[in-house]
Copies of this chain bind each other. A is one copy, B any other.
Amino acid sequence: MATPTISQTLVPGAFGPAVALSCRECGERYELGPKFACEFCFGPLEVAYEFGTVTREQIAAGPNNIWRYAPLLPVPADVASKPNLNPGFTKLVETRNLGRELGIKNLYVKDDSGNPTHSFKDRVVAIAVEAARNFGFTTLSCSSTGNLAGAVGAAAARAGLRSCVFIPSDLEAGKVVTAAAYGGELVAIEGNYDEVNRFCSELIGDPAGEGWGFVNVNLRPYYGEGSKTLAYEIAEQLGWRLPEQIVIPIASGSQLTKIDKGFRELIKLGLVEDTPYRVFGAQAEGCSPVSAAWKAGHDVIRPVKPDTIAKSLAIGNPADGPYVLDVCKRTGGAVEDVDDVRVVEAIKLLARTEGIFGETAGGVTVGCLKKLVETGQLDPAASTVVLNTGDGLKTLDAIEATTGATATIRPSLESFREAGLA
């Protein structure tokens, strides 16, 4: 087979330093295109790069968003001048109260609720938008019941692309409104989430789906690269150092593997010292196939039927599960899970100690962090980063039953004193 070249139809430099897609399983290479699976072994494709020289100064001079890392992403050099939501460069919060309460010396929360639609999905969708533009796609699409729907709707609106989001028709009213707010097509499918996804796969293979970019299907190799920016930002915000430990939620597992990829790239490029880091994966007990495999010492993931309040992590058959196991093993980390009661406690703990109101996924990571310390798996003396990937405003129902007024009084000082509030 001839060396793959970037398609003649693409503008030179359209994908920046990206030169090909390569199969994660067999290494087969393909030219950059809207492909996601290897034709030979069906393995997932990922972006391969030939990086030029990239310096800390060059990055620091860039914009306060993910495009400061454009030389490390499959995007054109002038990406920052195109209409997009400019996500990223969210706060890395040095904890005061949470670290003290958990007995961890140097604990940081990477708070991705600060993104434009308040979840890390804005990062991955932003890269997918650039790929869609490059391939001449006119409709940006996905199936989603939550964060991804908003991220796609908003990014498409700003970019001037049509959007079409598919949801199951029995979705709760509040989630429908959030998904519909950006005014794109929102198509309710009479069926459950699996049927929605099956339909989307059909559509991609049909002429009716021509010109459609499904961000996490035919644009997935590009989309996934957006998660690398979490690694870049954490390292830069720590003063160009890698953290010694990091706790990352697992849905498909892609985010965890891409953060690892980002750290390794920084080392390779000489942007950080090659210091050891341990990667920990976090799942909700009600959807913990990767944690179960880790604890059983298995290399394969047995799919489960999700049953947890952490809906944004509820993927029963996580595509990147085996790669997550590899990363956690290689780096000396672990995979842990916590039940829904602890997820709720952890959401409240993070809010009460640092003023960060996280999504259920943030409850999963903080809850697992606590458990990892308690069980001696995580070193409380080492610098540690925990991810909050979404916003508590989107999962109010998770804490509603246990959160409310602490006192009810009459409008008088007497009643105030009686309640012991003085």
Q: Which residues from chain A sit less than 8 Å from chain B, CB to CB?
A: 64, 83, 85-86, 89, 91, 96-97, 114, 116-118, 150, 153-158, 160, 164, 167, 169, 173-174, 176-178, 180-183, 185-191, 195-196, 198-199, 202-203, 206, 208, 347-348, 351-357, 391-394, 396, 399-400, 403-413, 416-417, 419, 421-422
Contact = CB atoms under 8 A, between A and B. Distances in A.
B409 A190 contact: yes
Contact of A396 (B178, B410, B416): B178
The quantity of this chain's copies bound in the complex is 2
Nearest to A64: B64
B357 A189 contact: no
A293 B97 CA distance: 49
Nearest to A180: B403
Nearest to A159: B355
Contact of A405 (B167, B182, B354, B357): B167
Contact of A411 (B176, B190, B412): B190
Contact of A393 (B393, B405, B407): B393
B407 A188 contact: yes
Given A160-B96, A351-B183, A352-B183, A357 B208 contact: no
Nearest to A209: B422
A200 to B, nearest CB: 9
A173 B158 CA distance: 33
Given A181-B357, A189-B408, A189-B411, 15 more contacts: A91-B116, A96-B158, A97-B157, A155-B355, A157-B351, A157-B355, A173-B400, A178-B396, A182-B357, A183-B348, A187-B408, A187-B416, A187-B419, A208-B413, A208-B416
Contacts of A160: 96-97
Given A116-B355, A177-B396, A355-B155, A188 B348 contact: no
What 10 A-B pairs have minimum CB-CB distances, sorted nearest first? A183-B352, A154-B355, A158-B355, A188-B405, A208-B422, A157-B355, A199-B411, A188-B408, A393-B393, A191-B411
Given A154-B357, A187-B407, A405-B188, A83 B96 contact: yes
Nearest to A83: B96
B196 A405 contact: no
A184 to B, nearest CB: 8
B177 A409 contact: no
A157 B351 CA distance: 7
A156 to B, nearest CB: 8
A330 to B, nearest CB: 34
A117 B187 contact: no
A82 B196 CA distance: 49
Contacts of A114: 114, 116
Nearest to A182: B351
B411 A198 contact: yes
5 contacts: A117-B357, A154-B355, A181-B357, A182-B355, A187-B405
Given A203-B416, A393-B118, A421-B164, A406 B187 contact: yes
Contacts of A411: 189-191, 195-196, 198-199
Contacts of A183: 348, 351-352
A164 B422 CA distance: 11
Contacts of A169: 405, 408
